Structure 1
Amino acid sequence: MATDALTLLLEERDWLLADGAMGTNLYNMGLAPGEAPDLWCEKHPEKVLELHRAMIAAGSDIILTNSFGANACRLRLSGAADRVASINQTAARLAREAADAAGRKVLVAGSIGPTGEIMAPMGRLTETEAAQIFTEQAEALKAGGADLLWVETISAVEELRAASVAAKATGLPWVGMMSFEPGGWTMMGVTPAQLAALVERLSPRPTAYGANCGTGPSELLRAMTGFAAAGSERAMIAKPNAGVPRYQDGGLIYDATPEVMAEFAILARDLGVRIIGGCCGTTPAHLGAMRDALQTHARGPRPTPDMIARRMGEAMSESGGAKTD
């Protein structure tokens, strides 16, 4: 019988809306270029809380903590490696505060990104060391009130295995995502089919898995067709960047409009994706359009790769954006 909050919510709902970008939205709220977004949990908690509230108001059922890079390896670059526990606990508490005030069920997902190091044998970081790094972060997120661990933008098999060790250590449910390049594999050569097979061998297995980030919604949908073809019955997650960025009027603007992301959301749902959201460049305005589209458009047939290319191309053209195919 299901016991964790994510599984229970998935049993109640056909789809869930995850939130949008943390770093790029904070950048447009004043985060300095090169400044670690995670540090704003303690430096500007009111702005992090404001962003969480905006994501919830746009309809998010799952909000991610502002802790994507808050592991010891990445924080070392900012001279904050000794603050892993405090930053992650604060990140989770801020998200928990926003979720608890929502007036409806909103889950807090503890965001865990890659270490930023190359895994052995190509690099120096061992799987055991990565597991220790992730566990330190995961335990702090749990202490701050996270409902689950949200492991994202991973490219190596070894790093995802290490993250599963952290999930086991905390006892929290978890989900795992990799980021796929236009050629159809991660930076370290993992294909969607290989990820679909990998998650079934992990212990504990993730409640859901999928893809995030990348070069935009069209490319990410191609990865999702690979998961669907693998035949896995595990819940899938799709959380792409809102296209590609450009610098405009002192901020970062991505070329996938809310209308484009709404079309993506419909296609993802029709592919069988259960958790749909956005990564870099995805604003509350994008999320609002995605939720409206999911609520008002009837489920259609499972889209083919050709259908995806055509409909996403048309959406980009109608919105004035550049085609992503």
Structure 2
Amino acid sequence: MGRLLGLFGGRRVVITDGAWGTEMQARGLAIGQPGDLWNLERPADVLAVARSYIDSGSHVILTNTFRGNAVALAAIGLADRVAEINRRGAEISREAARARPGVRVFGSMGPTGKVLATGEIGPEAVTSAFASQAEALAAGGVDALLFETFSDVEEARLAVRSARPLGLPIVVSFAFDAGKKKDRTMMGVTPEAVGQAMAEEGADAVGANCGAGPDAFPSICRRLGESSGLPVWIKPNAGIPALDAGKAVYTMTPEDFAGHAAPIIEAGARFLGGCCGTSPAFVQALTKALESCASS
């Protein structure tokens, strides 16, 4: 079964959560602003987001720490607050998870935002940034670590290596949104290259999130699973957004989104949730769709 799936007692498909940024913007976070500092300044709002997903059926709740590494925080003058932002983020999600037995907390870790290939950042700085963030999340009580929305395999390799000494299960998820078929990352990496690399590094699961709507994910899911032999983590966006006064607007309904669950699960997904534009209503719809699949 593996130590990651073992956290869920052999559940065939684990329902994760949906978008955090969308929910925090509804509570007043300015578009384009990182929400990580809310762990310290507005913890009640962060707790409310976590609880809303758990109440909707999530078996996995993330932490509000996507941009919590030292490199990303340095861009907004908060590099010295890595430990407290991440530890508090983990503690808040841990508090929310206590309301429902079996809910697990995964520490959310996004990329640095710098490019290794051009020398914009070096491997030592990347490794240090992820190691310090992972240590703080572990201190806050997370059950596993999720590196999400990556595009560079080499950065992801460093991320896994930096976190492996902590002994926590590790999931690595990439955004596939480039190429003619939208099956490449921004750096031109294929699902096959991602799957092979993450298996080599000892990740416990590999996945795809963001990038596109759910119709694009069955093929990517299958290719990730076949190339890695690992459980696959999938979190699509709520379709392709339209721009309204410079703001991304997602029009896909929760029911339409959940209608894509069956082919994604048939393609091998073991973890399924939503990314940009999704909400607790989408998780609730996914939960109902999963129940329907199980009874059919």
Measured against the shorter chain, the TM-score band is over 0.9
CA-to-partner distance for each residue in 1:173-212, whole Å, 9 max, x for gaps? 110011101531111111001111112210xx11111101
Which structure 2 residue ranges, 5 or more long, are not aligned?
Answer: none
Judge conservation of contact 2:206–2:224 (CA < 8 Å) in 1. no
Secondary structure of 1:38's match? coil
Q: Which residue of 2 aligns with 1:89?
A: 87
Secondary structure of 1:35's match? coil
What are the within-5 Å matches in structure 2 for residues 88-167 of structure 1?
A: 88-102=86-100, 104-119=101-116, 121-167=117-163
What are the within-5 Å matches in structure 2 for residues 259-274 of structure 1?
A: 259-274=255-270
**Offset of residue 221 of structure 1:** 2.9
State the distance in 2 between where 1:114 and 1:245 align: 23
Secondary structure of 2:207's match? strand
Q: Which residue of 2 aligns with 1:316?
A: none
Which structure 1 residue ranges, 5 or more long, are not aligned?
Answer: 301-325
Is 1:211 aligned with 2:203? no
Q: Which residue of 1 aligns with 2:223?
A: 226
**Offset of residue 47 of structure 1:** 0.6
- When residues 247 and 24 of structure 1 are mapped into structure 2, their CA distance, relative to the original with a 3 A threshold, is farther
Secondary structure of 1:150's match? strand
**Offset of residue 219 of structure 1:** 2.0
Amino acid at match of 2:47: L
**Offset of residue 252 of structure 1:** 5.9
CA-to-partner distance for each residue in 1:81-104, whole Å, 9 max, x for gaps? 1100000001000000000122x2
Judge conservation of contact 1:242–1:254 (CA < 8 Å) in 2. yes
Secondary structure of 1:280's match? coil
**Offset of residue 72 of structure 1:** 1.1
- When residues 34 and 272 of structure 1 are mapped into structure 2, their CA distance, relative to the original with a 3 A threshold, is closer
Judge conservation of contact 1:178–1:211 (CA < 8 Å) in 2. yes
Judge conservation of contact 2:5–2:11 (CA < 8 Å) in 1. no
CA RMSD between the two structures: 2.1
Structure 1 window deviating more from structure 2 (240-249 vs 158-167): it is: 240-249
Give the counterpart of 1:51 among 49, 52, 72.
Answer: 49
What are the within-5 Å matches in structure 2 for residues 305-320 of structure 1?
A: none
Is 1:170 aligned with 2:166? yes
State the distance in 1 between where 2:136 and 2:35 align: 17
Secondary structure of 1:136's match? helix
Secondary structure of 2:51's match? helix
Amino acid at match of 2:168: L
Is 1:242 aligned with 2:241? no
Judge conservation of contact 1:7–1:207 (CA < 8 Å) in 2. no
CA-to-partner distance for each residue in 1:104-136, whole Å, 9 max, x for gaps? 2001000000000011x3232122221111001
Q: Which residue of 2 aligns with 1:201?
A: 200
Amino acid at match of 1:20: G
Judge conservation of contact 2:19–2:279 (CA < 8 Å) in 1. yes
Q: How many residues align?
A: 293
Judge conservation of contact 2:87–2:136 (CA < 8 Å) in 1. yes
State the distance in 1 between where 2:215 and 2:269 align: 14
Identity, in percent, stands at: 42
**Offset of residue 32 of structure 1:** 1.5
State the distance in 2 between where 1:298 and 1:50 align: 30
CA-to-partner distance for each residue in 1:238-280, whole Å, 9 max, x for gaps? 111111334679x864122101221122221111110001111
CA-to-partner distance for each residue in 1:215-253, whole Å, 9 max, x for gaps? 2112233311322453x431111111111334679x864
Q: Which runs of 4+ in 1 moved over 6 A?
A: none
Amino acid at match of 2:29: L
The TM-score normalised by the length of structure 1 is: 0.85
The TM-score normalised by the length of structure 2 is: 0.93
State the distance in 2 between where 1:185 and 1:278 align: 19
Q: Which residue of 1 aligns with 2:7?
A: 9
Judge conservation of contact 1:24–1:281 (CA < 8 Å) in 2. yes
Q: Which residue of 2 aligns with 1:323?
A: none
- When residues 247 and 100 of structure 1 are mapped into structure 2, their CA distance, relative to the original with a 3 A threshold, is farther
Amino acid at match of 2:91: R
Amino acid at match of 2:68: A
